[in-house]
Amino acid sequence: MKAYIELTSVPIARENTPLLAPAAELAERLAQGGEAVELRLQKEADAIHCYMGVSSLSCAKTLVLLLKQLRCGFHSAEPLSEMSTETLLLRGASETYHIIPGQNRGSTLLMREIVPDAGRSKSLYYTLGQMPEGYGYSVLIRKSPQLDMRTSTLLKNMAEQNQNADMQLYEKLFHADTRYQCVMAVFGQNPEERKQLEMELMHAFAGMKTYNIPKTKICVDTETVWKAAEQTAQQVMPRSSTAAFLFLAEEIQTLTCLEGVSQKNGIRRNHDTLFSEQENKSIWSKDTSLLLGKNEMGEEQRIPFRELKKHMFVAGAPGSGKGNFIFSIANQLHRQKIPVLLLESAKEEQHYLRKTMQNLRVWRPQSGNFVLNPFALPPNVTLEQYRASLKEILQTCVKGDGPLEELYQTTLTRCFAKYGYTQASMMYSPGTIPFGLHEFMLEFNRLLDQNGYSGKTMADIKSAGRTRMHALLDANPDVYDTAVQPIPITELLNGENLLQLNCLTTIEAKQMFATMILISLAAYLRINAKHSSRLQLVIILDEAHNLLRGAEKSDGEGVYSFAENFQNLLLEMRSIGVGFMIADQTADNVPTTIPDICGTKVFLGPSRFSGIERYAALFRADETTLEHLYLLGPREGVYTTYGMSVGAHFSTPNIIDRYQMEEGYPAENSFVERNARTLFETYLECRTCASRGHCTLEQKQQARQTAISVDAECRGLFWNAVRASERAAAEEKTGDEKSQRESRMAKEQLRKVLDYMAVKIAKADNTDCCITQLIRQLNRESASSHLVREIYVEALRKLAESKKKTGGSKA
């Protein structure tokens, strides 16, 4: 044979589809009595390999077109090693002779028709799969020339003599428009194992019979095999040897059918045929399209970048290659200079993208790396424009309902007024002062005092309000307890940015943080982004259920859900060129409408529980498709997008291994490096603190722990002493001796309490920071809106300085 092509995959079988027999179909297209086609199944390494050999380059081109039409995977094969055979299989035909009185000697030809038997074929391929390397068999086929007179007469006579159904083979061969010649050759080193393969072939293809021949090479010249077969047939059937080579078209299909070669035996199923039809898509330019991967035939599967404006949903269980897919998409956006923001809510591995995206800035909501003020206005957005977003933030993050939500809204309005904001004010407008959760809580306490609630109602509302606000503060005080916004939201929209949320230990904390970020981003984009037909930003949400699942609560009028608002955000962002890529383990993890809205849907991996069944009609996935999803391996998936009438299969390149993404790589952030101090000098009090400019994050954290300890131990003592001292001071004005004595005792008691607190505070490295944080704690936890007076703060500071100089003493 001049050329060999290896079949690497065959299409998935469906009901009512013809048997897959490419060798038979190729033989049908060749001229009568002309070129031969070889089908070879051979054990190599641990699998069966399937080759098709042709005797000319023009025939090879015809074969390539045929295999594409049949949706088989293939590639050119190196010249096969020479194999020798000592056994041929021909049709099991025999001649019998008889003498009729008064007539010449007669003869009878006995032949059996070869019929398909799927069970026997599977047994054959299983046996071949268990054999050592180098064993196999070849099937040689060619179209038969016109019948000679002797064979034609013999078939006609046999057809007339045998009219029963079992003997209709003669009539079929006589009347057939096209007949074929076929011979099978078995090869392998050990005669005993070769004999076993011969037995399996005769069992699978009942009607074939083995014949021993002198050792003959198969690959060099197939004519030698044909001649050996003819000589053998002439010895067995001297008068009708030609008939031993004659086969019907359906018999050739049976002998060369590949349906029984199972996936585990070596010839895999063509995953492109998961869908009964194949989409003929336009070819998109590499500069204007996103590469998802390649199909079995090596054809690139692309979607235009502009389709990302209609958003993409990706579902894939662990091990399906979802992380690799995200890496691939992010890298392509980087090469196209399209800004990308990734939110990674689980693990911490996407910062390894810095190996290919050197300017990727990694943000983590933890001490010294990020601060987030829920009430800070985005750049170039007025208070009036941000009102609705502030309501969403309150509803999502501090979760007020009923009277409590009204109190929160009123508190927020009073805070903005107190700190100099008007409806037209922006962040850092002249005359404004930033405020944060701490200032909000102080104003909340004042509002409760002024509303005149009864004692129990006041206690219940204050307790509920504090609990919910503290849930946010306590989740990550270094991130949320800030009155400034040193990280403009615009920093997350320019270039390449990654927000890693794994340091937030609960889903609720991750949800709150991501929600505030997205609300602020959306508000900024609504006001500042221009409508565009181009893709200007892609936001990638990995493990999206951490943000979108369970994010709902009552708002007094119905049900507020950030997930529902997020749907509206998806629709709104299309017009300004912002695309979302939303990834999760299954579509069932997020509200149904989220993947519904996304124009491109990608399902990775072998599980039919990824949510693909819900979109079976969109993919035109039948039950066969769903049953064979198990064939998909890592990094393989199916997708559909606008303009496609049927889903398509793809395999993503292994980006993780190519760039060694699983190896450690440092996370860096140029903005954090330039603004390290502003990320922990975050209180309003920091502006006037004596330690400003030379304190450290470690000192602040140590001071906080000391302040929490002193507050827990001394809060009751302190406020009782303050109230007693101030009450006694008021009564002292009456001038009687008893009042003056009680006043002196109260002041002395307060001094002792302050002195005891100062001993504790003096142990902190930074006493100024410790006092600041203690006073903030005392003011937030005050039973009323009464704040610690400056005179006590100053006295505490002096006592602490004195204790620090003397090494501290027991009060």
User: Cβ contacts of residue 529 below 8 Å, gap of 6+?
Assistant: 536, 576, 577, 578
Residue of higher predicted confidence among 730 and 353: 353
- Give the angle subtended at the CA of 92 by the CAs of 88 and 98, to the nearest 5°: 130
Please give the pLDDT value at position 202.
93
Please give the pLDDT value at position 263.
62
Residue with tokens 């895999």: 268
- pLDDT interval class at 555 (50, 70, 90): very low
Residue 577 CA: distances (Å) to CA of 323, 327, 494, 745: 24, 21, 14, 71
Please give the pLDDT value at position 560.
46
For 124-157, b/e burial (b = at least 16 CB within 10 A) is bbbbbbebeeebbbbbbbbbbeebeeebeebbbb
Contact by Cβ (8 Å): 86, 211: no
Query: What share of the chain has pLDDT > 90, as a percent?
Result: 53
Residue 31 confidence (pLDDT) above 80:
no
Q: How far apart are CA 562 and CA 168, in angstroms?
A: 74
What is the rounded average pLDDT of the residues 282-302?
87
Which tokens sit at 242? Answer: 């030609």
Residue of higher predicted confidence among 172 and 220: 172
Q: At what angle do helices 403-418 and 437-451 cross, to 10 degrees?
A: 110
Please give the pLDDT value at position 163.
60
Please give the pLDDT value at position 97.
60
Write the DSSP string, 475-492.
H-HHHHS-S---S-GGGG
Judged by average pLDDT, the poorest of 21-35, 311-325, 370-384, 420-434 is: 21-35
- pLDDT interval class at 799 (50, 70, 90): very high
Residue 49 confidence (pLDDT) above 80:
yes
Query: What share of the chain has pLDDT > 70, as a percent?
Result: 91
Residue with tokens 């061969």: 173
- Each residue of 280-290: pLDDT tens digit? 565 678 888 99
pTM (two decimals): 0.85
Q: How far apart are CA 38 and CA 55, in angstroms?
A: 9
- Each residue of 481-536: pLDDT tens digit? 888 767 889 999 999 999 999 888 888 788 888 888 998 999 999 999 888 888 99
Residue with tokens 């006609």: 156
What is the rounded average pLDDT of the residues 433-438?
92
- pLDDT interval class at 45 (50, 70, 90): confident
What is the residue-averaged pLDDT of the chain? Answer: 87
Residue 315 confidence (pLDDT) above 50:
yes
What is the rounded average pLDDT of the residues 613-619?
95
- pLDDT interval class at 102 (50, 70, 90): low
Which tokens sit at 97? Answer: 């002779």
Please give the pLDDT value at position 797.
92
- pLDDT interval class at 81 (50, 70, 90): confident
Residue of higher predicted confidence among 398 and 571: 571
Judged by average pLDDT, the poorest of 335-349, 557-571, 744-758 is: 557-571
What is the rounded average pLDDT of the residues 406-422?
94
Give the 3-state secondary structure of residue 187.
strand
What is the rounded average pLDDT of the residues 191-200?
94
Q: How far apart are CA 100 and CA 191, in angstroms?
A: 44
Residue 471 confidence (pLDDT) above 90:
no
Q: How far apart are CA 388 and CA 50, in angstroms?
A: 66
- pLDDT interval class at 266 (50, 70, 90): confident
Which tokens sit at 674? Answer: 């330039």
- Each residue of 111-167: pLDDT tens digit? 888 888 878 888 899 899 999 999 999 999 999 988 888 888 888 888 887 665 456
N-term to C-term CA, the chain = 103
- pLDDT interval class at 400 (50, 70, 90): low
Judged by average pLDDT, the poorest of 13-17, 220-224, 318-322, 599-603 is: 220-224
What is the rounded average pLDDT of the residues 448-458?
74
Give me the sign of the Cα torsion angle 280, 286, 287, 289.
positive
Please give the pLDDT value at position 219.
64
- Each residue of 686-742: pLDDT tens digit? 988 988 988 999 999 999 999 999 999 999 999 999 988 888 888 776 667 888 888
Which residue type, as a one-letter code, is found at position 204?
A
Please give the pLDDT value at position 553.
45
- Each residue of 164-182: pLDDT tens digit? 545 688 888 888 989 999 9
Residue 808 confidence (pLDDT) above 70:
no
Contact by Cβ (8 Å): 20, 13: yes
Which tokens sit at 323? Answer: 């992380």
Residue 749 confidence (pLDDT) above 60:
yes
Please give the pLDDT value at position 107.
61
What is the rounded average pLDDT of the residues 620-632?
93
H-run or E-run covering 303? strand 300-304
Contact by Cβ (8 Å): 728, 750: no
Please give the pLDDT value at position 554.
40
DSSP state of 206: B
What is the rounded average pLDDT of the residues 191-205?
94
